[in-house]
Structure 1
Amino acid sequence: MDQLKEALDHNRNIMSEINKKIIKADDLISHSKLKEIANETEGFQVNCSAEDQDLPSNCLGFENGEGIRQIKVPGAKKFYVMCDSKTAGPGWTVVLRNLGNENFNRNWTSYKNGFGSMDSSFFVGLSRLHLMTQSQPHELFIAIYFKHPLHSQFTNSFDNFIVGGASQGYRLESIGNPTSSHFPFIQSQVKAKFTTFDSNNAGTKINYARGTAGWWFTAGNKQSLTQWQIGYEKTLMLIRPKMYL
């Protein structure tokens, strides 16, 4: 009986050791699998981040800066813009283009988020204008093209274009110094908040945006680049980082 008991105890010890080894092996497999999954996840996150980091923050970052491109402004999600390197030189971003085939008499939300089609008439949106001009200093190029006389145009550039944030009513913080005498009205609109037909921030009894289009209107100054006039062929607003200069 003693021998039998000793044999049973010995077998129990062997089985116990085997179970410990099996558990240890399972733990090693689980740990290895978890580590593999963690490495895969980490790599995916790094790759996503690297992809975003590879995107330029403006149209100057593209070798062929023409057409629709995707950019990543610091502090914002990536988004698409229209790049223009033909109108006024390389690296410009089109923020407004009106060919007369789009309704610019829009509400506050539309002007905030942007509207239209980039291959035609559109506005990039106040929120994106703010993000782009706050991320680094920008210059502004504006132009009106007329049908008659054939292809005549008025243009002007300003060297310090800044649009404030939502809490400031997307105020026109600055435009800087002009390079010509065209569009002098915009200089008197600096520090004005943006106005739409459903949000009059101009401090006027009459809402200048009602029935026309949104803009940085002020008391006594209801001119804008968003209102379409007979004889117009196209209106443009472009911005570009000042580092190019």
Structure 2
Amino acid sequence: MGLFWRELIAGIIIFTSSLIAAQAPEQHCSLKFQEAFEEAVKLKKTCQEARYRDCCQVAKASLFDYPIKSGVFYINNACGHESPFIQDISPMQARCNMESGDGGWTVLVKRTPDVEQRELFNRTWVEYENGFGNLSGEFWYGLKNMHCLTSREPMEVEVEVSKTDGTKVVLPYGNFRVNGLSTSYTLHVSDKQHEEAYDYLGYHNGMKFTTFDNDNDSGTSSNCATSHGKVGWWFKNCDLTLLTHMPHPELHTTSPVTYHYAELRVRPKLCNANLPRTCD
């Protein structure tokens, strides 16, 4: 018998016993049963989603189970490490972008002013490793999670920045990977697929991650994180892309250009528009 049915039966037994003991009115019985049923359906959905290793697989299943909409979903915690986005023992949460392109994107970084309180990105090495923020607002998904998601199969990436006036820049790259702790989470990004004059994210290719308390940039005079408000990034000397900049993300040309919204998202290279999706 599956977990869902065991949980549902146990819930019904407990619920029925409590009704007999309390001799609850019929209307109360109906309400409590509806609540128990909704909780069981929610549990089943969570267990289903927790089988998927990324948002591409969630998108594939969504074609048949429920509408494809961007939001927060459960995925499998394949790496098994601690993270603020892990719920209970195994499943972890991820923000999925189902609108851009063909959908199926797992969001690794998100910036938005549409929140009651902005997230602080002047964080320590350990905080950048584990991740922080709110998946419904601004967040950094964590270097450990980024390494886990991008090291299992070839991945592509998109960086999207926009302003409140509608100005938008999308920067796709065909290859993206974050190495593990032994390399200080070195970034690998290549195959520039946009027509912008500057290779914004490609500039950071091959760089180790830097925070104010762990300097790994290629500059010799100072720590780039310290000189940029103590935010973490794959600094070189220093940056062309800085999605963690406070209070707003930036792209650099001859001078910084400030944006209000930003998103860095990845998906398997085989997660394409052809149906059925072929990311598993």
Which TM-score applies when normalising by structure 2?
A: 0.63
Aligned pair in 2 of structure 1 residues 132, 203: CA closer, same or farther (>3 Å)?
A: same
Q: CA deviation at 1:96?
A: 0.5
Unaligned segments of structure 2, at least 5 residues:
1-5, 7-46, 63-67, 81-89, 250-256, 273-280
Query: Of residues 54, 57, 61 in structure 2, which corresponds to 1:61?
Result: 57
The one-letter code of the counterpart of 2:76 is K
Contact kept? 2:125, 2:211, Cα under 8 Å: yes
Partner residue in 2 for 1:93: 106
In the alignment, is residue 235 of structure 1 matched against residue 262 of structure 2? Answer: yes
Contact kept? 1:144, 1:155, Cα under 8 Å: yes
Aligned pair in 2 of structure 1 residues 234, 54: CA closer, same or farther (>3 Å)?
A: closer
In the alignment, is residue 162 of structure 1 matched against residue 170 of structure 2? Answer: no
Partner residue in 2 for 1:33: none
Aligned length: 194
Percent of aligned positions with the same letter in both sequences? Answer: 27
Map 1:11-90 → 2, pairs under 5 A: 55-62=51-58, 63=62, 64=68, 66-72=70-76, 74-76=78-80, 78-90=91-103
Q: CA deviation at 1:65?
A: 5.4
Contact kept? 2:96, 2:106, Cα under 8 Å: yes
Q: Supply the distance in 2 between the matched residues of 1:78 and 1:52 (Cα, whole angstroms).
A: 10
Partner residue in 1 for 2:125: 108
Q: Supply the distance in 2 between the matched residues of 1:144 and 1:220 (Cα, whole angstroms).
A: 19
Partner residue in 2 for 1:138: 155
Q: Deviations over 1:47-77 (max 9, x none)?
A: xxxx689611111222135311111264545
Q: Supply the distance in 2 between the matched residues of 1:65 and 1:162 (Cα, whole angstroms).
A: 26
Cα RMSD, aligned residues only: 2.4
Q: Which runs of 4+ in 1 moved over 4 A?
A: 51-54
Partner residue in 1 for 2:234: 216
Which TM-score applies when normalising by structure 1?
A: 0.72
Aligned to 1:237, the other structure's residue is in SS state: strand
In the alignment, is residue 189 of structure 1 matched against residue 204 of structure 2? Answer: yes
